[in-house]
Structure 1
Amino acid sequence: GTIADGIENHPDVANRILERIVEVAGGSRTKSEIQGFGDHEFVPWSISAIT
């Protein structure tokens, strides 16, 4: 990534991530939403009961 390549430092990347989180929280669409993946996007946990 850009930190390992020496292009950006940790605070710069952390700031960029935070800015993106704020944008999405404010209604900006994610890349998944823009590309129409909808329900097929990454879900880190199961929404339904585990059987």
Structure 2
Amino acid sequence: MGILATMAQHERKLIADRTKKALVEKKKRGFVLGTLADLHASILQLECIP
């Protein structure tokens, strides 16, 4: 059972690292990250303009 727990913990770390790298790349490309509650009205207006 200990081996499975260790493998699961390692997998969680890999997933977290991959997610963090993806978020950094998105931010570099200009994506606005965060929830709608965190975004300012000006950012929301920019995204709504066609």
**Larger relative contact order (CA 8 Å, sep ≥ 6):** 1
Which of 1 and 2 has greater Rg?
2
> TM-score if structure 2 supplies the norm length?
0.45
